[in-house]
Structure formats: structure tokens, C-alpha cells
Amino acid sequence: MKTLVQSRLTIRRLLLPFLCFVSVTAAAQTFPSRPIKLVVTYPPGGSSDLMARIMGQKLSVFWGQPVVIESKPGAAGSIGMEFTARQPADGYTFVVGNLGPAAVNPLISKVPYSMDKDFIPVALTATGPNILVVPASSPFKTLADMLAAARANPGSLNFGTSGPGSMAHLGGELIMRQAGIKMTGVAYKGGGLAVNDLLAGHLHMMVSDALPVSQFIKTGKLRPLAITSAKRSPMTPDIPTFAEAGLPGLIAENWWGVFLPAGTPQAVVDSYHAALDKVMADPDLKERFAGLGVEAMATSQDEFRTFLAAETAKYTKLVSDNRIKGD
């Protein structure tokens, strides 16, 4: 009897890996069989939220299952990332993370998640340049004008930010480092508040993503001086790059990508890739993303990992050199 029991236990141990494989494979083949949560780490109405809703609509059609937007704003995007990291690793919750919570926040604050241990990077899904803007009443007609004024009176010029580690803050720091100038950052609780003060003439300049400032550029209330992409954007072809404007080497694009909780089966990750490859190439989605000032895409996992490593290295140096700390 003892020998029989031992034999059965041995057989079960031998079969366990096979049974687990069959279970995971079956789950992947039927994925998704119920609604999926798409976590947004910023408040409704911003670039991240609008892109997520467009993407979610397309994925719902592709998968034949509802994709439900779940807003988890706060702590510069960290709350939504932590929420996602704690969800079951079954593919039914994913997050659109961007530069802030996925690369910068862990460098300047103690965040309750690890990008290396708690997430699977699936694909880079969008990139978008930032624009250096000044009020229409500003005496600065070009980037060279602004840099000359900053060099003549160190610390006299200010720039608006939406807090430590925000792209507006990092953009200002990059300009100072690349140009060898000194300016004063003014932090606000949100980018919209900074744009309002810029329009009122209380700020000299701001580095902003395209969505909050594009309407004011079109109406002539704000003047663009340079764009942070490596080449001119087809969405704003009249705005020179920083290199063209006289400050080579300054490239700082915002980006967004899809992340799943660590432990999600590779077969489910592959299902995400198949879906993203399809929907991110959809002409309607690409046009709607372009209207937000960003370019839609869907990279491979390896390409996304390489991109993340380069971004982390870049901003690690910037944060270290300038002793940038979170709130």
C-alpha cells in the first residue's frame, strides 16, 4: 500500500508541470472571456486618459469583450502603477504607463512598486514631443533670444512645471544643463494651472506636451520656440527642433506603453501583442492620436525593454546631476 501511494505521488509530481502547461495554454486560447480593466494613472481629460479611451474602444472591438477604463490618478501616476502591480496576473488588468511613473518617479521618490519585479513591459504604444512655449507678449522671438537673456541675468527667468520629475520640470532642467544657464522652476499642482499662469504672463516659459498648448499656439496666445523631438514633427512642421534652434543634443519626448502585472503567462502577453499590432495600426486610431499630438505605434517586447533601459539611464543621470527630489 505504501509503495502504491508513493508511486501515485511520483506520477502526480511528474504530471504537474504538464497539467500547469495545459491549464495556461487553455486559458490563453480562450483569452479574453470576460471584461478587461485598463488602468489610467492620470485624471480624466488629459493625454493619457484620452489615448486610453481611444485604445480601449479599438481593443473592445478586436477582442469582442468590453475594455473598462479605471482611473487611478494621484502621486504623479504612482497610485495607478501600484494598483496594477497588485492585480491578479491573468491579463484582465493592464495599465498604460508613461515616462513619469514608469521611469522618473522611482528615481526621485520611494514608490511602492518595482518596475523590474512587478511588471511585464508589453509594447511602446505612443511617443510625443514637448514644446517650449512663451506668452505672445514675450520679447523672446527665438530660442536664441531666450538663452541670451538667461545668460545675461542668471536666475532671472522662470519656467512653469507640474511638480518635481514632471516632463515640464525635466525639460527645464535639460535646457539649463545643455545651455549652461540658470533659471527658476515654479511648481504647480497641475500642468493646466501652469499654462494658465503662462497665458497671464506670470511665467516666462514652459516645456509642455502638445495637447494643453496646441490650441493657444493656433490662436496666437502662445509662441512656440522649439520642439524636443530629434526631427520636426509632421503635426507641427513649422516649429524647429532644439538642434535647429541652436541647442543640439536636447531630445526629450514623452511616451506611453502597455504594462501587465508580473507573472502574466507569456501566451497572454502574446495575445496582447497580436491585439496591439492590429489596433495601433488602425488609420482612425492613428489620426485621433495625431490630433492629441502623439504618434501611435506598437513595438516588440525586446524593443520596449531596450527603450526603457535607455530612458532610465538618461534620466538617472539628469536626476543625479541636478539632485532632483520628489515631494
Looking at residue 128, its amino acid is G
pLDDT of residue 30: 85
CB atoms within 10 A of CB 7: 10
- The residues that bridge with 208 in the sheet, in sequence order, are 131
Q: What are the b/e assignments for 50-73, b being 16+ CB within 10 Å?
A: bbbebbbbbbbeebebebebebbb
- Ranges 6-15, 97-106, 245-254: which has the least confidence: 6-15
Architecture of domain 130-245: 3-Layer(aba) Sandwich (3.40)
Q: What are phi and psi of 279, to 5 degrees?
A: -75, -35
pLDDT of residue 14: 54
pLDDT of residue 22: 43
The yes-or-no answer to whether 34-128+254-322 and 130-245 have a common fold is: yes
Residue 54 CB contacts under 8 Å (≥ 6 apart), including other chains = 285, 288, 289
pLDDT of residue 259: 98
pLDDT of residue 290: 92
Residue 265 has pLDDT above 70, yes or no: yes
Q: What is the pLDDT of residues 161-193, one digit of tens each?
A: 987 778 888 999 999 999 999 999 998 877 888
Question: What is the arithmetic mean of pLDDT over 101-106?
Answer: 92
Query: And the C-alpha cell for 49?
Result: 486618459
- Compute the residue count for the chain: 327
pLDDT of residue 162: 82
Q: What is the pLDDT of residues 185-239, one digit of tens each?
A: 998 877 888 999 999 999 999 999 888 899 999 999 999 999 999 899 888 899 9
Q: What are phi and psi of 70, to 5 degrees?
A: -125, 110
Alpha carbons 141 and 146: distance in angstroms, whole number: 8
pLDDT band, very low/low/confident/very high, at 327 (cuts 50, 70, 90)? low
Percent above pLDDT 70 for the chain: 91
Residue 151 CB contacts under 8 Å (≥ 6 apart), including other chains = 179, 180, 181
Residue 321 has pLDDT above 90, yes or no: no
Residue 118 has pLDDT above 60, yes or no: yes
Q: What is the pLDDT of residues 3-25, one digit of tens each?
A: 544 555 454 455 544 444 444 44
Boundaries of every domain in the chain:
34-128+254-322, 130-245
Q: What is the pLDDT of residues 30-74, one digit of tens each?
A: 899 999 999 999 888 888 999 999 999 999 999 999 999 999 998
pLDDT of residue 324: 80
Alpha carbons 236 and 211: distance in angstroms, whole number: 12
Query: And the C-alpha cell for 6?
Result: 508513493
pTM of the predicted model as reported, rounded to 2 decimal places: 0.84
pLDDT of residue 244: 95
Q: What are phi and psi of 192, to 5 degrees?
A: -60, -40
Residue 88 has pLDDT above 60, yes or no: yes
3-state SS assignment for residue 195: helix
pLDDT of residue 2: 46
User: Which of 127, 161, 158, 99 is closest to 311 using CA atoms?
Assistant: 99
Q: What are phi and psi of 7, to 5 degrees?
A: -65, -40
Alpha carbons 251 and 241: distance in angstroms, whole number: 9
Is the distance from CB of 133 to CB of 213 less than 8 angstroms?
yes
**What CATH class has 34-128+254-322?**
alpha beta
DSSP string for 108-171: HS--SS-HHHHEEEEEEEEEE-EEEEEETT-S--SHHHHHHHHHHSTT--EEEESSTTSHHHHH
Query: And the C-alpha cell for 183?
Result: 533659471
Is the distance from CB of 160 to CB of 99 less than 8 angstroms?
no
